[in-house]
Chain A
């Protein structure tokens, strides 16, 4: 069954490319829309207690295990939702049908990579899927081939290559010890030789590689350029899910299922997370370009998940995954709205904007929801995840980190409200009189993402019980 989430999109690419040139360019969008909807349906059906399906005949083909647990389920939901959002944005921002067709192919390939990352339980297969996602991401960043886009892609590919070397070296060292590459075998070996310096070194370089992928400070150099220079649809994908699946999810999975509990590891995670929270928020305050501001905000928000993971407690893990989900949704919402504004105003410079709420009321209102959720204001979803993170930090005795996380929330509120004021509030800036509301598709996807943000916040007990509380099961005892 999980193998369907790899095979369905691949089959989709083959069918799409086998069509006649004229037909495929016309139907590519709706074809991909149906494909992602099917993937979303497969994910949702998998969790229904009444739904039982026998393993398809081709499943034994995948001898390296793919499986879906509660953590994977949350990630798959994020992947499919964000891919759909990115697809809708591409419909309005990539007008040229050839360009959109190529984008859709790469989007599907990236989704295969991310689905694989979250479902595999083998460290080498994990590396292969990370590479699939990284290769498609580089091409997507450089998609328009402008100088800035190529520079962003170059930075990404160089740092990604460093991360790759570090992770591959770590895998080789871990293979030396365990003789296998599945998570369980490596975990057993690590527990047996946990004082070995070579194993500590292997875990250290693997973590460094993942910090680069997650864009944590001080390895964040590639992230603002990549987010800001990529086409809008790609920014949604990168900020919404790619860095989360490649960096944050992988960190969570490996720290909980492979590396196992460790005080020093937790300290490293909390320190890296806290530095990212503060540095990302401070850097966001000084930005003129709203895509760059959102990029720095992403660094800060990812820090919250990492610091929560560093607690090493079940509540900390739940907080990390809950905030990861919320961040994927509200950051996608904010990038969708950023794309809508860029589309209508033709700039991302906040100095040239102002008073857009009268012209773009839906975009303005949904942006405000995203901003408030990111800042941790009740009753939005971000409030609950940040509350859980602070409680987890406090309960685990890391009170200084809890206070820093709380204070950084004020910084977040400051820069996001500043952005809302500069872009949407005040008097309409000269030359923007002709601006209209974003196209219907943009508004629809923004409303849906805003509805998830509000819905998860209002129905927090249900969302917590169904989606996030079961995540504690992946934590090793």
Chain B
């Protein structure tokens, strides 16, 4: 229980850091930390396959894509960094306070009787059975989302001519 609370706190701090960080690189690392902690929770809840997906895709692949893309961008000058930091502090200065308030509210809610009985186990089926035998339609839907994403990449990331702006 103590470990869970520490992990959750680290996750929240990493998430807030991702938003507040002045460097995109640090923001990407913050997100990777969030993802690693989610992975730990998944393993703790015996969702090992989901944990493997989270670790390989969200922590690994997506972080690599972020870092590669950031590597292609032009770094900011010192003056720009200062202006950016001020802007961030102005926009999101209250975010940590909000997070603390939301956390306190959530802890308060935990003390409220839920008023319902938790279903013991939603499904005993193996994840492969769920994906391939029970939730065909959702898997199908995911493929269509990827297809839409593919068209999005073709349309939105095509080279933009100067006059188009």
Contact = CB atoms under 8 A, between A and B. Distances in A.
Interface of A: 6, 10, 13, 61-64, 66, 102, 105-106, 109, 112-113, 116, 120, 122, 124-125, 128-129, 131-132, 135-136, 138-139, 142-143, 145-147, 175-180, 189, 192-193, 195-199
A176 B121 CA distance: 9
Interface in B73-127: 109, 112, 114-119, 121-123
Contacts of B145: 128, 131-132, 135
B59 to A, nearest CB: 20
27 contacts: A62-B136, A63-B134, A63-B135, A63-B136, A64-B134, A102-B154, A102-B155, A106-B148, A106-B155, A109-B151, A116-B137, A124-B138, A125-B138, A129-B141, A135-B149, A139-B156, A143-B155, A146-B165, A177-B119, A178-B119, A179-B123, A192-B116, A193-B115, A193-B116, A196-B114, A196-B116, A198-B115
A145 B164 contact: yes
Contacts of A129: 141
A63 B148 contact: no
Contact of B115 (A106, A136, A195): A195
Given A135-B148, A136-B151, A197-B115, 14 more contacts: A61-B136, A63-B134, A63-B135, A102-B154, A106-B151, A113-B144, A116-B137, A129-B141, A139-B148, A139-B156, A142-B156, A175-B122, A179-B121, A198-B114
Given A145-B164, A198-B114, A109 B156 contact: no
Given A177-B119, A193-B115, A139 B155 contact: yes
B111 to A, nearest CB: 11
B122 A109 contact: no
Contacts of B56: none
A367 B31 CA distance: 50
A64 B137 contact: yes
A179 B109 CA distance: 22
A125 B141 contact: yes
Given A128-B141, A128-B142, A180 B122 contact: yes
Contacts, number: 102
A13 B115 CA distance: 48
B118 A132 contact: no
A4 to B, nearest CB: 14
Interface of B: 109, 112, 114-119, 121-123, 133-138, 140-142, 144-145, 147-149, 151-152, 154-156, 160, 164-165
A63 B122 contact: no
B151 A102 contact: yes
A16 B160 CA distance: 26
A273 to B, nearest CB: 29
B154 A177 contact: no
Contact of A197 (B112, B136, B147): B112
A120 B137 contact: yes
B152 A132 contact: no
B43 to A, nearest CB: 19
Contact of A145 (B115, B121, B148, B156): B156
Given A102-B155, A147-B165, A198-B116, A62 B148 contact: no
Nearest to A199: B116
Contacts of B121: 179
Q: Which 7 A-B pairs have the closest CB atoms?
A: A196-B115, A179-B119, A128-B141, A193-B116, A139-B152, A64-B137, A196-B116
Contacts of B148: 106, 109, 132, 135-136, 139
Contacts of B164: 145-146
B118 A176 contact: yes
A221 to B, nearest CB: 16
Contacts of A120: 137
B155 A116 contact: no
A10 B156 contact: no
Contacts of B154: 102
B138 A64 contact: yes
B163 to A, nearest CB: 11
B116 A64 contact: no
A350 B137 CA distance: 46
A132 B115 contact: no
B125 to A, nearest CB: 12
